[in-house]
Structure 1
């Protein structure tokens, strides 16, 4: 997507959907192979949780790998800092080490480079320094993809002003980074910004709202209020993931204005008690939301679901609630979620089902785990809540 390779003639088709279609085509032809569910665990998250975060893993057939390497051999290079035999027409650079100073590549000008990352480096070898980053910003003005995952810098140089072609910026697991530079707000073509597991991040500039092309955003931060970001200006945002924002006590009220959003996941925000929309008593019909998947995990203080969720009544297909120990009830309007297909409830011991749940006619999958009282109430034929769920084709109940 970052390289503009996903083109569609259908103005209503999103690039993410087209990309997923291509992946599934490759899987169906055995070029790619899905990784078994029990082999996929990342940061303690199991396959299903990762899936709803938009993360999938595949194995590539050896022949396809060989073909890809052969096809791209003149355009890609895995290099070290002291490499000198780098072709000047290379477009994609992957470093296998890092060190003090900057590479010179035999004084060659690599003006066509569009991708830089450390995919071939071990974690201990990716000690990216500030001089290296300044060199990248100076030398590669046409960069589209920059992956600095797992870097150990504390401050990112404020040098993004001229990186106008950048589409993808991965800063995930930069666990010492405390501040995003203000110049990052100049990246008006940026489509993906990944700040996942940036556990020391204390400052996100308020002008981040100028990233008008943003489609995927992951945030981990020490900030206690994200309202300054101005989420409602992200008119193209498709996926938003708030992960391990440990100081947040409420979620921004303008999440309800993300009219293009399809997937929202809120994970491990332990102090959050509410969504900032309690003042919204009456919902007018001026606009609707396109949210398809909404998951909440490890919000033990959350008291209620957001009122704006009813604006997704015609699009929401998946709702997942996990480890929300203070959540006691679904909202009264829950049955208007007529498109809901899957409902997951896990480790929410106080949560009860709504009285009119049998009106949610499209619900195909109900999964209840780690809720002993609710599981007891939902036992087939004998539980008092069985009549609410008996119309659902696929039901999984486990007390533990």
Structure 2
């Protein structure tokens, strides 16, 4: 997209055209060895050595790659590189940034990878780079092995970024920046801004609404982000918005969820945090901010709240009801929910829902009959005060249980965690034909697993019991009274130790 290789078609989105190009090349073995995420999306691939060598031969005057180690000699730009369009730099250890690269005025792409421990770049590097490489369409400044916490802070993004007037793709992921300059909002051609895993980033520029061509704002892992700026609703071209933060402070913030209404093209995944700050639930219901977004397949709702103020539990119930998504939704996560009932008509209408994760506060006593969701493959529940679960999943007798039913017809993964008051699992004659993995963690009062489950779940391959003392005593290998009831399961993990074929677990 950034290089303009996808052309322009009023009837087809650029992202769709790009996917078609990629699929065509992959079908002809131009790409191979694909790595996929949990949703089977390809996230990386490789080229065969011969294909790569041939591509290098054809483009030998258009691009160059450089790897620089600590103590390496200064990069010398030769005549073959003077008109290069694309370059990738990899800086190892304490390698010095080759400032001479700024003399290649023709560069359209610059990808910079920094790896392993290194000091921050000198303060003059980025201003020089931004001021001289003004033809750039794509710029990536990232750090490999960031999760090892070995790299010292990256300096602030300088105001000179505004000089990159042709820039369409900017990747600043995994940086330690706390603030982005307002001048970033003068990059009117910008289509993609990736600030994912900038954990210290506290705010976005106030002028974000000027970026009218922005299609992808990737901001996963921006844990310190406290609000969305006013004007975010003007970004009507947005296809990707990873995270929206609802704030209690309306002085600078686009504090209401109504800002999402005009972002009609959002697709894929969206996380909404700060829902505990929402006060005007009737406005959210009237706006129907999510129900029209038919390309949104993965939704996370975080009912967290700024400060320590009290919030009524029925507020969360009403807000959950008002946040009805399009029926196309495939993944739903609801966290820190304070309602006394997790039950809404729209939840039961999600016939294509494959994954559901729910964490509730101590208020929640009743759950919906989730077993009636026909496509559900993965279910995770953490609701501390539920005392009795009926495999459905209903709770505390709030909903009747069928005496014989095939519920969860496609469920493969079932996880319970931190249900501290759970004592009884009423299984009845339910059948879970596809269940392959069962995990129970921090359920200290649960007395037993249902015999019907252990006998009827023919595909059960993995059982994990962790910090659930009564279950531990009951099913302990060798001494537990019901060890034989689980001994047929191939993979049993108890308090992080494998039981079958291994030593007895310690309490």
Under TM normalisation by the shorter chain, which class is it?
Answer: 0.7 to 0.9
For residues 346 and 24 of structure 2, the distance between their equivalents in structure 1, rounded to whole angstroms, comes to 39
For residues 337 and 11 of structure 2, the distance between their equivalents in structure 1, rounded to whole angstroms, comes to 39
Stretch deviating more after TM superposition (365-374 or 177-186):
365-374
What is residue 414 of structure 2 aligned with on the other side? 398
For residues 279 and 195 of structure 2, the distance between their equivalents in structure 1, rounded to whole angstroms, comes to 23
1:104 aligns with 2:120: no
For residues 58 and 276 of structure 1, the distance between their equivalents in structure 2, rounded to whole angstroms, comes to 46
Higher strand share: 2
For residues 64 and 401 of structure 2, the distance between their equivalents in structure 1, rounded to whole angstroms, comes to 60
1:63 aligns with 2:61: no
1:292 aligns with 2:286: no
Stretch deviating more after TM superposition (24-33 or 345-354):
345-354
1:368 aligns with 2:369: no
Taking structure 1 as reference, are residues 179 and 371 closer, same or farther at Cα in structure 2, changes over 3 Å only?
closer
For residues 163 and 29 of structure 1, the distance between their equivalents in structure 2, rounded to whole angstroms, comes to 36
Query: Mapping of 1:122-271 within 5 angstroms?
Result: 122-125=115-118, 127-150=120-143, 152-175=153-176, 177-219=177-219, 220=222, 222-226=224-228, 228-242=229-243, 252-253=256-257, 254-266=259-271
Instruction: Identify unmatched segments of 5+ residues in structure 2.
Output: 69-73, 144-151, 250-254, 306-314, 394-398, 416-438, 440-507
1:227-270 residue CA offsets vs partner (Å, 9 max, x unmatched): x2432111110111129x7x967974112321111123328x5x
Q: By how many angstroms is 1:196 displaced?
A: 1.4
Query: Mapping of 1:3-18 within 5 angstroms?
Result: 3-7=3-7, 9=9, 11-18=10-17
What is residue 471 of structure 2 aligned with on the other side? none
Q: By how many angstroms is 1:193 displaced?
A: 0.8
For residues 390 and 57 of structure 2, the distance between their equivalents in structure 1, rounded to whole angstroms, comes to 58
Q: By how many angstroms is 1:162 displaced?
A: 2.6
1:377 aligns with 2:391: yes
What is residue 40 of structure 1 aligned with on the other side? none
Q: By how many angstroms is 1:134 displaced?
A: 0.9
For residues 336 and 355 of structure 1, the distance between their equivalents in structure 2, rounded to whole angstroms, comes to 12
What is residue 483 of structure 2 aligned with on the other side? none
Contact 2:241/2:270 (8 A) holds in 1: yes
**Secondary structure, in 3 states, of the residue corresponding to 1:64?**
helix
Query: Mapping of 1:8-87 within 5 angstroms?
Result: 9=9, 11-30=10-29, 31-35=31-35, 47-48=37-38, 51=39, 56-79=43-66, 80=68, 82-85=75-78, 87=81
Please give the TM-score of this superposition, normalised by the length of structure 1. Answer: 0.75
**Secondary structure, in 3 states, of the residue corresponding to 1:149?**
strand
Q: By how many angstroms is 1:277 displaced?
A: 5.7
For residues 352 and 365 of structure 2, the distance between their equivalents in structure 1, rounded to whole angstroms, comes to 19
1:211-232 residue CA offsets vs partner (Å, 9 max, x unmatched): 1111111231534222x24321
Stretch deviating more after TM superposition (141-150 or 258-267):
258-267
Out of 258, 276, 281, the residue aligned to residue 273 of structure 1 is 276
1:313 aligns with 2:337: no
For residues 224 and 288 of structure 2, the distance between their equivalents in structure 1, rounded to whole angstroms, comes to 36
For residues 89 and 370 of structure 2, the distance between their equivalents in structure 1, rounded to whole angstroms, comes to 57
Q: By how many angstroms is 1:76 displaced?
A: 1.4
CA RMSD of aligned residues (A): 4.1
1:342 aligns with 2:342: no
What is residue 447 of structure 2 aligned with on the other side? none
For residues 402 and 6 of structure 2, the distance between their equivalents in structure 1, rounded to whole angstroms, comes to 47
Taking structure 1 as reference, are residues 232 and 101 closer, same or farther at Cα in structure 2, changes over 3 Å only?
same
Q: By how many angstroms is 1:365 displaced?
A: 3.9
What is residue 331 of structure 1 aligned with on the other side? 344
Q: By how many angstroms is 1:390 displaced?
A: 5.4
For residues 390 and 23 of structure 2, the distance between their equivalents in structure 1, rounded to whole angstroms, comes to 39
Q: Report how many residues are paired.
A: 368
